[in-house]
A and B are shown apart, each in its own frame.
Chain A
Amino acid sequence: MKQAQNHTKNYLYAMAIDLDKCTGCGACMVACMSENNVPFRRDETDQLLSMKWLRVYKLTNGKAYPDHDVCYLPRPCMQCAGQHEGHSPCVSVCPATATDYDQNTGIVSQIYTRCFGCRYCMAACPYHVRLFNWWDPVWPEGMEKMLNPKVSVRMRGVVEKCSFCFHRFQQAKDRAYAKGKRDIDEQDYQTSCTQACPAGAITFGDLNNPSHAVTQLVKPDHKHHGRPQAPHAFRLLERLGTNAKVYYLSSREWVRKMGDNYLKNEKQAGSH
């Protein structure tokens, strides 16, 4: 039993979202909330208080008709790797080791029982991904029986965020083990939002695997913190150096320029 067991394969899970395909229908948000037992309120109109691991933003180019254009931008957790692997904005500030960067998967974890709710990570996150539970979740009667048993429910006073549906990775590993193998196929581990998107705008996979669709879509430059080399690919706030693992694709230049704070006539970072 005491054999060397360092058989862990290094995955680097990432997501590419094609903003030209996204219609803003919100199916990804619904799928995410039901998959991850995200609590909701009777009145969800106050967006500041609503918990959404994945939020769809509406962008406009600010021009009058006929040049007016709209784009919807779904925003999950970016799973930042930072300038050196694991120096994610949130992970580096957490005093409780409640959030962590896993070198085996590239996923930023959040352990709710460890978190004591100081919310440093929320202040550090440049994407406003993290959410604080101001109340204990209350489910409409009978709905607590329909919660996903693979995801633990959070209590009042802790921070939560998108986990790239990590429980699905755990189950994918179990399925692979049942077949006697250790590697996980691309389709074995897909996030809930990816599968729910009716337009097929979201692509999810392992950046370390060149055959995965996400790698082919964004062509990451691993020597430069995974900077996308595909012509229409970009990341949010690229120049902050968060080394995010959620990539966006758009053929429209104004959308790509909205991904970061550019000066009026400045060229887009990493544009080709």
Chain B
Amino acid sequence: MSTIDDQTTADVPQTPEDENGHPKHDPAPAADSNAPVMLSFIIGIVISLIIGWAVFPKLLYSQKTQPVNFNHAMHMDPEISAEGCASCHYFREDGSFSGIPKLASCAECHEDVLGESEEEARFVEEYVKTGKEVPWLVYARQPDCVFFSHIAHVKMGNMECKTCHGDIGVSTQTRVYEENRITGYSRDIWGKNIAGFKKNTWDRMKMDDCAECHKANNVNQGSVQTLRGGCFVCHK
């Protein structure tokens, strides 16, 4: 800020005066004197943009690795998982969704080390042998006030898992779990793109993304206030 003041005070005595004693206004030197101001302004914007788009997201999200590096692709072998995703992520009898399998499901096959992978050996040693549940980090965990019925979408709506979760079945290792340091939610909810742009249906899991599909398919549009989706469809 001091540069502006220095410039103006330095310029004033040098400005030639006209017959009436008023300072003569010469556009060319004025533009020159504005140049450092504009430059610092632009530099400021660039720095802010870099901080906002690159540094802040890095600071905002902490990087966590899953306790076990899980290979989805290997497990999707039809001989292992005859029913695809539903072999491990199944519906219970009352229609609720089992989510990430408990250790007991894993132990059905991994009672002892099956393959040659070091990660599996560690998993069996650390969790199966001790009976300790794996503290998986859930990428798609929603806030407390959200009600989501998997069966309504998968069974009744004939949707594929990857529509919301991406093609996770082909992944050979778990990706980094990014947790928002302020809210504690996974970055998958807000989306990878800090500007909020969305290329695929699975890029984001915000309320607007749910509402977008509900509106397009005319599902539960019973709200009187908004003439759109009723709140108590997805909230609890």
Judge whether A113 and B219 touch: CB under 8 Å: no
Question: Can you list, as one digit per residue, whether each of A94-113 has a CB less than 8 Å from chain B (1) or not (0)?
Answer: 10010111111101010111
Determine the distance from Cα of A87 to Cα of B225 in the docked complex, in whole angstroms.
9
Question: In this complex, which of B93, B96, B216, B224 has the most chain A Cβ atoms within 10 angstroms of its Cβ?
Answer: B224
Judge whether B231 and A111 touch: CB under 8 Å: yes
Indicate whether A178 sits within 8 Å of B95 (C-beta atoms), given known contacts A5-B157, A8-B220, A109-B232.
yes
Determine the distance from Cα of A176 to Cα of B225 in the docked complex, in whole angstroms.
28
**A162-193 interface (Cβ within 8 A of B):** 163, 166-167, 170-171, 173-178, 180, 182
- Our count of residue pairs bridging A and B at CB distance below 8 angstroms stands at 117
Chain A positions within 8 Å of B232 at CB level: 100, 102, 105, 107, 109, 163, 166
Judge whether A178 and B144 touch: CB under 8 Å: no
Determine the distance from Cα of A170 to Cα of B94 in the docked complex, in whole angstroms.
12
Smallest CB gap from B93: residue in A: A178
Indicate whether A6 sits within 8 Å of B218 (C-beta atoms), given known contacts A109-B231, A173-B149.
yes
Chain A positions within 8 Å of B145 at CB level: 111-113, 152
What class of interface size applies to chain B in its complex with A?
35 or more
Cβ of B214 to closest chain A Cβ, rounded Å = 9
In the complex, whether B100 has a CB less than 8 A from a CB of chain A is: no
In the complex, whether A239 has a CB less than 8 A from a CB of chain B is: no
Determine the distance from Cα of A148 to Cα of B236 in the docked complex, in whole angstroms.
11
Judge whether B159 and A171 touch: CB under 8 Å: no
Judge whether B144 and A152 touch: CB under 8 Å: yes
In the complex, whether A48 has a CB less than 8 A from a CB of chain B is: no
Cβ of A67 to closest chain B Cβ, rounded Å = 46
Judge whether B158 and A178 touch: CB under 8 Å: no
Judge whether B223 and A100 touch: CB under 8 Å: yes
In the complex, whether B136 has a CB less than 8 A from a CB of chain A is: no
Indicate whether A150 sits within 8 Å of B236 (C-beta atoms), given known contacts A5-B157, A177-B155.
yes
Chain B positions within 8 Å of A103 at CB level: 222-224, 230
Question: In this complex, which of A114, A166, A180 has the most chain B Cβ atoms within 10 angstroms of its Cβ?
Answer: A166
Judge whether B149 and A174 touch: CB under 8 Å: yes
Judge whether A177 and B236 touch: CB under 8 Å: no
- The list of the 3 closest CB pairs from A to B, nearest first, reads A86-B224, A174-B95, A178-B95
B residues apposed to A, CB below 8 Å: 91-96, 143-145, 147, 149, 151-152, 155-159, 216-226, 230-233, 235-236
A residues apposed to B, CB below 8 Å: 1-6, 8, 85-87, 91, 94, 97, 99-105, 107, 109, 111-114, 150-153, 163, 166-167, 170-171, 173-178, 180, 182
A-B contact pairs, 11 of them (CB 8 A): A1-B158, A5-B219, A100-B225, A101-B223, A103-B222, A103-B223, A105-B230, A150-B147, A174-B152, A178-B95, A178-B155
